[in-house]
Structure formats: structure tokens, C-alpha cells
Amino acid sequence: MSIELNQEQLELEEIIMEKQEIGLKRQVTQIFDTMSFEIKRTWKTFFIMIIVYLAIFLLTFLIFELQEAQKVELPYLAVDYAVEYIDTLGLLIIISTATFGGSIIAEDFQKQTGNLLFPKISKSRLLIGRVISRYALNAILIIFYYVLVASVTFYKYEYIPGTLIDSLGWALLYTFMIFAFIIFMSSINKSKSATIIVSILLLLIAFRIVQSVIMFTGNGIEPVFMITYYENIITASLDMPDPRYEIVEFGDPDDKGNPEFTRWLTPSIAGALIGMILFSFAFLTAAYLFYKRRQSKNE
């Protein structure tokens, strides 16, 4: 009798394990299906963003060519030449992440398409597939831009700074953090357009104004709690300054007692790594919770 019971228990455990394995394969398949669908759905947007990145690069290159034609010497070091191109990358990252991430959640509720398109997929797998695919497209744009910068730098100087790889790594991590912020904004806004407009205004204007206000308080606080501050390490990593701040004086330089303010140039390597990872985790977690809550209300 006990032998029969043990046999039945083993068979039951095998059935449970098979179901779990099938369930896991189905979950992974759903994520990949979502990724494939998102890439097909956004390829036109990706093509447009490729043109935007290329146009900004060519514009910077044209400025250098015009300066050379007027006998203006190029920067002495290759790294300084590369910095001129990387300086505009922060703006490009904000534009591309807002373009790809603005609709990632908001459009499901704006157009009421979430349950229609994916009736049998969980909110978590749907969000994971969208995040991976759209961030991957953003990452390709960043890598494409760095390939252009490396190519033109080698053409001009016959040398590519090794720190360009470090800068690329920071750019990809910063892009992911900003992308996570855009996803969070998409989870709390009612439309794609509102998400994009509000996010760009916050990232390009509001956060930077707050950062300037912090500087003028005169207490020397490093603004590690401002996500836009982490953009600085993308260019700073090409030639890390020491110290990482500078003292700014206002008024007549010959007068004593002028007010002095501390302007932080870049976060440290450890600070940037920890800060961006924590912000990314916080934004994605909050976005998922808001997404789950809004979806539950609509069901």
C-alpha cells in the first residue's frame, strides 16, 4: 500500500514539475514575443532617431570643419576633440528616451489597448518585454553615436582615447536611469504627449534650475539627489577632474570678500554607479506599482 502511495506521489511531483517547466517556458516566450512586437512597432521611430543622432553629429563635425577652414586649430588632445561631440549627448538621450518611453505605459490607458493586445500576459511580463526592447533600441543609438565619434577622432588624430569606452559605459547606464524615469512618468500620466512634455521640461529645465539653486546656497552640497547631475560623468570620465568641483566667485575679482560658490563638476565613479542603479530601481519599482494599480482599476 505504501509503495503505491509513494509511486502516486512521485508521479504527482513529476506532473507538477512538468507544469512548472511549461509555465516558465511560456513566460519567457511571452516576454520575447512582446519584445519582438515592440521592435516591429517602433522601428519607424528608431529610424527617425538614427537620423536625429546622425544630424547632430554631422552638425558638430561641420562646425569643426568651418573652424579649420578659418585657420582655427583643433583641440591639441584627441580626448578634448571627442568631448565636443559627447557634450551634446545628454540632450539626445533625453529626446530618445522620452520618445521611446513616453508611451510605454500611458498609451494602454489612453487608447485602452492593454487588455486588447495582450489578454493573457501578466503586467510584469508585458512591462519587462517593453522595457528590454525599447531600452535596447536606445542603447543601439548611443553605441552608434560613439562609433561615429571614435571614427572621426581616429580620422583627425590617428588615435582613439581609451576612456571613450568608459564614457560609453556611463552613457548607457545614464540612459537606463533616464529611461526608468520616463517610464515612471508614463505610469502616472494619462497620455503619451503629456508624459513626453512634462518629462522633457523637468529634465531640461526644472531639475537644472534646482541644481543651480543648490549651488547658490553656498553650502557646497553635492547634488547627488538630482538625476540630471549624473549626466556630467559621461564627459568627465574622458578626463576625470581632480578635484571634482570648482570654486566660482562673483563680483570684482580684485575685491576681497566676494561671495564664493561650489560648483560640482561630476559625481565620483562609485557615487555615479550607486546613485544611478538606485534611482533606476526606484523608478522602475514605482512605475510597476502604479501600472498594476491602474490596470486593476480598469479591469
The most confident of 16-20, 41-45, 117-121, 177-181, by mean pLDDT: 177-181
The string of pLDDT tens digits covering residues 239-275 is 888 888 887 776 556 666 667 778 888 999 999 999 9
The half-sphere exposure of 293 on its side-chain side, counting CA atoms within 13 A, is 8
DSSP state of 250: -
Contact 177, 283 (CB under 8 A): yes
Q: Which residue has the higher pLDDT, 289 or 4?
A: 289
Q: Which three cell numbers stand for residue 276?
A: 544611478
| Whole-number pLDDT of residue 291 | 83
pLDDT band at 116 (very low <50, low <70, confident <90, very high): very low
Contact 265, 244 (CB under 8 A): yes
Question: What is the count of structural domains for the chain?
Answer: 1
DSSP state of 246: E
pLDDT at 19 over 90: no
| Whole-number pLDDT of residue 118 | 44
| Whole-number pLDDT of residue 89 | 94
- What does the pLDDT average to over 70-89? 90
Residue 96 lies in a domain: yes
pLDDT at 119 over 80: no
Residue 170 lies in a domain: yes
Residue 60 lies in a domain: yes
- What does the pLDDT average to over 131-145? 94
Q: How far apart are CA 86 and CA 90, in angstroms?
A: 8
The string of pLDDT tens digits covering residues 141-182 is 999 999 999 999 999 998 999 999 999 999 999 999 999 999
pLDDT band at 110 (very low <50, low <70, confident <90, very high): low
Residue 178 lies in a domain: yes
Query: Which contiguous run of DSSP H or E holds residue 134?
Result: helix 123-157
- Give residue 224's domain range: 2-293
Residue 298 lies in a domain: no
Residue 91 lies in a domain: yes
Residue 299 lies in a domain: no
Q: Which three cell numbers stand for residue 265?
A: 563638476
- What does the pLDDT average to over 216-236? 87
pLDDT band at 114 (very low <50, low <70, confident <90, very high): very low
CB neighbour burial string for 131-164, b if at least 16 within 10 angstroms, e if fewer = bebbbebbbebbeebbebbbebbeebbeebbeeb
| Whole-number pLDDT of residue 167 | 96
| Whole-number pLDDT of residue 5 | 45
- Mean pLDDT of all residues in the chain? 83
Residue 54 lies in a domain: yes
pLDDT at 2 over 60: no
Q: Concatenate the DSSP letters of all residues of 52-99 into one string.
A: HHHHHHHHHHHHHHHHHHTTPPPPSSHHHHHHHHHTTHHHHHHHHHHH
Contact 190, 231 (CB under 8 A): no
